[in-house]
Amino acid sequence: MTDRVVLAYSGGLDTSVAIPYLAKQTGGEVVAVSIDLGQGGEDMESVRQRALDCGAVEAVVVDAKDEFAEEYCLPTIKANGLYMKQYPLVSAISRPLIVKHLVQAAEQFGGTHLSHGCTGKGNDQVRFEVGFMDNNPDLKIIAPARDFAWTRDKAIAFAEEINLPIEQSKKSPFSIDQNVWGRAIETGFLEDLWNPPTKDLYSYTEDPALGNAPDELIISFEGGKPVAIDGKKVTVLEAIEELNRRGGAQGVGRLDMVEDRLVGIKSREVYEAPGAMVLITAHQALEDICLERELARYKRLIDARWSEEVYDGLWFAPLKRSLDAFIDSTQEHVTGDIRLVLHEGRVTVNGRRSDHSLYDFNLATYDTGDTFDQTLAKGFVELHGLSSKIACKRDRDASGK
Amino acid sequence: MTDRVVLAYSGGLDTSVAIPYLAKQTGGEVVAVSIDLGQGGEDMESVRQRALDCGAVEAVVVDAKDEFAEEYCLPTIKANGLYMKQYPLVSAISRPLIVKHLVQAAEQFGGTHLSHGCTGKGNDQVRFEVGFMDNNPDLKIIAPARDFAWTRDKAIAFAEEINLPIEQSKKSPFSIDQNVWGRAIETGFLEDLWNPPTKDLYSYTEDPALGNAPDELIISFEGGKPVAIDGKKVTVLEAIEELNRRGGAQGVGRLDMVEDRLVGIKSREVYEAPGAMVLITAHQALEDICLERELARYKRLIDARWSEEVYDGLWFAPLKRSLDAFIDSTQEHVTGDIRLVLHEGRVTVNGRRSDHSLYDFNLATYDTGDTFDQTLAKGFVELHGLSSKIACKRDRDASGK
Amino acid sequence: MTDRVVLAYSGGLDTSVAIPYLAKQTGGEVVAVSIDLGQGGEDMESVRQRALDCGAVEAVVVDAKDEFAEEYCLPTIKANGLYMKQYPLVSAISRPLIVKHLVQAAEQFGGTHLSHGCTGKGNDQVRFEVGFMDNNPDLKIIAPARDFAWTRDKAIAFAEEINLPIEQSKKSPFSIDQNVWGRAIETGFLEDLWNPPTKDLYSYTEDPALGNAPDELIISFEGGKPVAIDGKKVTVLEAIEELNRRGGAQGVGRLDMVEDRLVGIKSREVYEAPGAMVLITAHQALEDICLERELARYKRLIDARWSEEVYDGLWFAPLKRSLDAFIDSTQEHVTGDIRLVLHEGRVTVNGRRSDHSLYDFNLATYDTGDTFDQTLAKGFVELHGLSSKIACKRDRDASGK
Amino acid sequence: MTDRVVLAYSGGLDTSVAIPYLAKQTGGEVVAVSIDLGQGGEDMESVRQRALDCGAVEAVVVDAKDEFAEEYCLPTIKANGLYMKQYPLVSAISRPLIVKHLVQAAEQFGGTHLSHGCTGKGNDQVRFEVGFMDNNPDLKIIAPARDFAWTRDKAIAFAEEINLPIEQSKKSPFSIDQNVWGRAIETGFLEDLWNPPTKDLYSYTEDPALGNAPDELIISFEGGKPVAIDGKKVTVLEAIEELNRRGGAQGVGRLDMVEDRLVGIKSREVYEAPGAMVLITAHQALEDICLERELARYKRLIDARWSEEVYDGLWFAPLKRSLDAFIDSTQEHVTGDIRLVLHEGRVTVNGRRSDHSLYDFNLATYDTGDTFDQTLAKGFVELHGLSSKIACKRDRDASGK
């Protein structure tokens, strides 16, 4: 049987040249799979045609924007998914979706190998390959950039050697990954941690200092899911897109951080994710009124671990799925409206309302109508502190008084 | 022996009237203790005199600003202390300091009782009383507002009845607690969660939309402690004060949240803490480059728990002290400089440098000089994912596919 | 409307006398509810009759043995529920079941109050009352032992005063709570922690040193639930009962511990729970082969927290329910057989087999057939240790070496 | 410069043959380092001589028994170090000690490489190599069994080929690692998880069913450290040795488990560690009376993570060191006596006493002298349960409305 390599195909130079390269290396055929995650840019049909022009025996294009929003972005909202309390997992949640479609294509087109263009020092190779193994461990994996030290220069030389019908675009100084959930930027001068980002890095967001008029909006959630903006029903995808626009116009969602990669190194990353940051901020504010205190405290630990699991490429792993079960069980009553103001890079929650709120005005108020029985507090305080009181006394006594 | 009640005395109407009231209730004497935590306002000597005028047998004033900064604010910086990921524990860390001084005063002046003015539905009663029990369980506790349902109206009536030499200020609609670390505001109309805060709530911060020119600064840390701003040596207190000024001018550090109180209810709180937020943001960014990944991940859990312990009034409790031991052990190498821009309410880190940094340019760079051996990655990825791969296969096999 | 107090009625002296006492205190009527949890002893119909003889207007008896096993013991098995790593929550899981039936009875018989016989320094008052509030916060709560300082001596005097038709049994020196899941014993001489338990404390277990012949058995689980013993189908209740017999005969399941009570004090407790300990041991051994490593590691944290929540009387609380969701999601593949030997107080697992096992002989073996690719290890080891290596080098460099 | 390989040398066939083999492979010289960890067996001087006979240019023997007990076993006692709640880390804590001495020898004798005899599918390669990298990343690492697929058969053939002066012992069916802290056994027939262990596996322990008379003893701790047995002062090493003897005679400390290895596979392991299990059991029982409740609850999480870190080869890693800081801070008052009975494989704690105990008879007793104020409980219960009560009501209203 002829080997068939199913390749995650972006349409760019590197993966285009990889088509004939992989065919040559394996003596087999290449199936190109391209996924529309809302990354924008080129028309997907042109991408598909280019794959065929470069020699792919099959070229598949999948519009996965809604699937991505519903099955990958929404769980991230529910988990308030921020790696290191900051990064909304832009690339991390897109890999498992791509994995699913590559494995499906392999099963459909008789693929024997799966392939991606990632290097050996990043997170994405791990996310792809652990995903591959989790979904179909019988398929072999080829990662030319890592396994054959395949570089851009070699790719260009090879393209010329075989007269590949591809225009050699001028190399962008930026390495970018983007989808509807956000945009990740790496570039040489950021590798000096003392250098600030420059304005040309950004594409999803305006400069927050531009001084647009404030944008006030109301996001409605049902069971943890955003369902309306300013009273107009939206899908999750529409919510992200609208908030990318409105948040982006206000310069919301820029991040500049040093990140702990799974492979053991630290790296500087710049992100912009306006819609993601607005949605997570609003979701969290709604949880603050809809989740009971001890549940909320514990969920913060679960959320943090969820984010680490997803960052670490373990989307399909058993622990991630059980963390999902915990999180899902908490979302039933995360229903209500959050009012926010987007302005000058700030996302400010200034109103919450919910039929499922645990806030009880009559217990909280200091005015007439107070139903809180203060006489209960004395007993509470004494027993709440009793074990500490006994221990503190012992500590003093033992240390010689 | 005559009872002697040591009272936490703010100088305001309520605690002023409490002096004769407590004397009457206990048939004893009252010692007033006032602590300067940088809350500003009235001269402390006037406060002391008023206590005496109201009948205190002793009136003590303590300038604890530096002690507060070094022993309470600094640990909060090291712990990135944010309750519910937001609130920098403004009131929560001031109570244990006040407790210490009240207990000392009781031991010095023959106190038999300790007293505070808090109500029975807030957190501060817990913080005071658990602190009292932890530091001297033999002293009795009186909390007139809670134990005798002592209200402002009753206080005013009593003041008139006994001709107390105190001016009856017009009642502020706001309930405020403030110190150098921040300012907490509660007020009636905020008890409707849909109402936005109004501008008159704020005192430490300007409106972020005022449009001042950006303020760029460099904060230097040694072992987790801020030691210089823009190259000029500062004490922790000076750092907080300067950043309150500069952050406040940019509208940095405003918070509007619904909080889970220890007594089981949710309450709406507005805070402003410009210095605190700038320092914690900078400290965290420095940790991002100076702490090893697994330590950093675990410290986030420890930090969260530390914040809950402190919020819950357990500053002196054994667990809090062991969390401190963990945190202290992580700070040795949190040394270096963070450059930030304060502007329009935003605190943006845009540069880090440190001799203790774990960031390794040669491992991270994609350019010439790369020392990362990518061939190691394949083995890593396969074994990193092996247990999940086996489990996913079992799950599919068992579910009959 | 006449008050109606729904009382958790055990049939013993204290709760018998409580019937007329509560009627007198409230000027109302008493409904007695008795639950059969497999505690053995008296016939439940006699208990019911005694309640009526003592003046109850209604007396209800519920056989809840199967409900208890399926809905309370089984979740404890799934959670490997051991408070402080030792105590299988014998009393803790019975209280929420009793709560449910008391609240149902109140709703059925027009109850206005709920009542229990617990004192104010134990855990059970908390479990009852938080359960009551969680299930019906409108019902008032009366706890005579705590609220009226109602003691055994007062009860006896009151019984004589009103000529209550009840025999005054000689006071047992032991305070005992028992059900099919186990037996809890407190008694005066154990309050000296240096005193060893005496043989007369025990009832569910023989002396382990008796030297019975070893008892080997196989327990089969499906989805975490025990379904067969030695190949014979059993309900959960039957499994517990059979293992109480067989484990008890071997002296399995005795515990002597100092426990951290929820009310802040430490107390000495002796337990015997042969069936519980055998089932949890077997379940855990099966999890060891059926749960993926990272899931298993995290589940241990979840299990520990679950046990604390249940111990602390929070069976119905939101966090406990979300922990259940996590745990349930892990049990699907906990299916297979565990072989154990019960002998001389020891429970020894010496065989496991499962179609859902994650143990892979071909990966594990050192003999022919080994499929583990050892060349992968080098890369794994280097990247697994990379972040620590960088940090250790920094630490040495920074400390001046 | 000539390469010099510093080899962890056991004296057995494999590492003996490795001496000339490594010399040949590297064209360099071999330095043999043998560590006495109380593993017993051959005289260490004979081991040293054999290394020289096999061609080592230097052969070093280190008596590290006390160092091992004080610096590796004692922290394990303080952490109640049981991986997967069972395994007392017998091999895991010996590797970092060996690492330290190998690195020292390399620095002393001009070593350029470090070498060990472990295979590529076990944990010990990770522990060695991460330890090497943490202590001196400049030294190269050679692992012949893994890197050159060096097997026993090849070793024997090579020994014959070069006429190595070594007797070829009959291959034991068991793979064993032992030291004073315990003994680990793997063997072919245990790879079938349904096979029970056979009696010939054991060496440190007698059959628990032998029926020796019970052995009652008192272990005294100071600050978490065992300092006396039955009133006689002991070093940590002496404590372990004596309890190995006395526990071993009673069949205490046998384990049969399926373990989650770091490299992603599950493996069957049999251990015997009588002294370790007695000491950890006693230490834990003392902590139960000397640690405050919330500290004890949190320490259980810390202990579990400590055990995972150590198991995973991260003894020198930053997180492990900060966990140590937490644990050390908890041990100050873990001082007192524990009385245990060793009998028929059981370790039964039946008495505790300590001047540092937090158990308060007067609070705990139900007899005369009770100082617990039960009236405090009502307020405690209501506020302890308040947030859950509000949430349960919301849940019912929302689902039932």
- Burial category of C354 from C-beta neighbours within 10 Å (exposed 0-12, middle 13-18, buried 19 and up): buried
How many angstroms separate the most distant Cα atoms in chain A? 88
Angle at B67 between CA B65 and CA B72, to 5 degrees: 100
Tokens 């049987």 belong to residue = A1
Instruction: Please give the pLDDT value at position A162.
Output: 87
- Residues D344, D254: Cα–Cα separation, whole Å: 11
Q: Are B21 and B145 in contact (CB under 8 A)?
A: no
The partner residue sitting opposite B264, judged by closest CB among D295, D328, D386, is D386
Domain with CATH 1.20.5.470 in chain A: 364-398
| Eight-class DSSP state of B201 | G
Q: Are D337 and D352 in contact (CB under 8 A)?
A: yes
Active-site residue, A175 included: yes
Domain with CATH 3.40.50.620 in chain D: 4-171
- Across A365-390, average pLDDT: 89
Instruction: Please give the pLDDT value at position A202.
Output: 96
Q: Radius of gyration over alpha carbons of chain B, in Å? A: 25
Against chain A, the chains showing at least 3 CB pairs within 8 Å are B, C, D
Residue of D nearest to A397 (CA): D356
- Residues B205, B195: Cα–Cα separation, whole Å: 20
The token pair at D143 is 């692992």
Per-residue burial over A88-110, b = 16 or more CB atoms within 10 Å of its CB, e = otherwise: bbbbbbbbbbbbbbbbbbbeeee
Sequence-ordered strand ranges (E) for B111-249: 113-115, 140-142, 174-179, 182-187, 215-222, 225-229, 232-233
Is the CB of residue A304 less than 8 Å away from at least one CB of chain B?
yes
Per-residue burial over B156-175, b = 16 or more CB atoms within 10 Å of its CB, e = otherwise: bebbeeeebebeeeeeeeee
Give the residues of chain C that fall short of pLDDT 50: none
- Residues A77, A72: Cα–Cα separation, whole Å: 9
Is the CB of residue D292 less than 8 Å away from at least one CB of chain A?
yes
Active-site residue, A95 included: yes
Sheet order of strands, D215-222 included: D232-233, D225-229, D215-222, D336-343, D346-353
Contact D322 B330 (CB under 8 A): yes
Tokens 């018989």 belong to residue = C109
Among C74, D318, D200, residue whose Cα is nearest residue B327: D318
The token pair at B314 is 């357990």
Which listed residue (D4, D48, D50, D95) is catalytic?
A: D95
Contact C298 A322 (CB under 8 A): yes
Q: Which residues of C touch B332 (CB under 8 A)?
A: 398
Is the CB of residue A375 less than 8 Å away from at least one CB of chain B?
yes
- Taking 70 as the threshold, does the pLDDT of residue D379 lie above it? yes
Contact C292 A330 (CB under 8 A): no
- The reply to whether C46 sits in an annotated binding site is no
Is the CB of residue A295 less than 8 Å away from at least one CB of chain D?
yes
Q: Which residues of A touch C84 (CB under 8 A)?
A: none
The token pair at B60 is 């003590």
Fold of C364-398: 1.20.5
- Burial category of C61 from C-beta neighbours within 10 Å (exposed 0-12, middle 13-18, buried 19 and up): buried
Contacts of B97 (CB under 8 A, 6+ apart): B35, B37, B64, B67, B68, B71, B72
- The tens-digit pLDDT sequence of chain B (401 residues) is 789 999 999 998 889 999 999 999 999 999 999 999 999 988 999 999 999 999 999 999 999 999 999 999 999 999 999 999 999 999 999 999 999 999 999 999 999 999 999 989 899 999 999 999 999 999 999 999 888 888 888 888 888 888 887 776 666 778 899 999 999 999 889 999 999 999 999 999 999 998 889 999 999 999 999 999 999 999 999 999 999 999 999 999 999 999 999 999 999 999 999 999 999 999 999 999 999 999 999 999 999 999 999 999 999 999 999 999 999 999 999 999 999 999 999 999 999 999 999 999 999 887 777 888 888 999 999 999 999 999 999 999 987 75
Is the CB of residue D384 less than 8 Å away from at least one CB of chain A?
yes
Which listed residue (C48, C95, C183, C254) is catalytic?
A: C95
A376 CB neighbour count, 10 Å cutoff:
22
Residue of A nearest to B393 (CA): A134
Domain with CATH 3.90.1260.10 in chain D: 175-291+333-353
- Residues B84, C243: Cα–Cα separation, whole Å: 46
pLDDT in tens, C132-186: 999 999 999 999 988 888 888 888 888 888 888 777 666 677 889 999 999 999 9
Contact D257 C288 (CB under 8 A): yes
Predicted confidence band of residue A170 (pLDDT cuts 50, 70, 90): low
- Residues B23, B2: Cα–Cα separation, whole Å: 11
Q: What is the ipTM of this complex?
A: 0.96
Is the CB of residue C301 less than 8 Å away from at least one CB of chain B?
no
Residues in chain C: 401
Least confident of A172-176, C224-228, D215-219: A172-176
Tokens 């009526």 belong to residue = C52
Fold of B4-171: Rossmann fold (3.40.50)
How close does chain B come to C378, measured CA to CA in Å?
7
Contact B326 D330 (CB under 8 A): no
Contact B294 C382 (CB under 8 A): no
Q: Are B243 and B274 in contact (CB under 8 A)?
A: yes
Contact A387 D356 (CB under 8 A): no
Contact D256 C393 (CB under 8 A): no
List C266's β-bridge partners, or say none.
Answer: C260
How close does chain B come to A87, measured CA to CA in Å?
13
Residue numbering of the annotated binding site of B for L-aspartate: 119, 123-124
C2 CB neighbour count, 10 Å cutoff:
10
CATH superfamily of D175-291+333-353: Argininosuccinate synthetase, chain A, domain 2 (3.90.1260.10)
Which listed residue (B95, B183, B254, B268) is catalytic?
A: B95
The token pair at C138 is 């409108």
The token pair at C143 is 């706890």
Q: Are B319 and D298 in contact (CB under 8 A)?
A: yes
Is the CB of residue D391 less than 8 Å away from at least one CB of chain B?
no
How close does chain B come to A190, measured CA to CA in Å?
10
Q: What percent of chain D has pLDDT over 70?
A: 99
**Alpha-carbon A41 to chain mean position:** 20
Residue numbering of the annotated binding site of B: 8-16, 87, 117, 119, 123-124, 127, 175, 259, 271
The token pair at C125 is 């008052």
Q: What is the enclosing helix (H) or strand (E) of C145? A: helix C144-147
Is the CB of residue C193 less than 8 Å away from at least one CB of chain B?
no
Is the CB of residue D319 less than 8 Å away from at least one CB of chain A?
no
pLDDT in tens, C16-60: 999 999 999 999 999 999 999 999 988 999 999 999 999 999 999
- Residues A184, A195: Cα–Cα separation, whole Å: 17
Against chain B, the chains showing at least 3 CB pairs within 8 Å are A, C, D
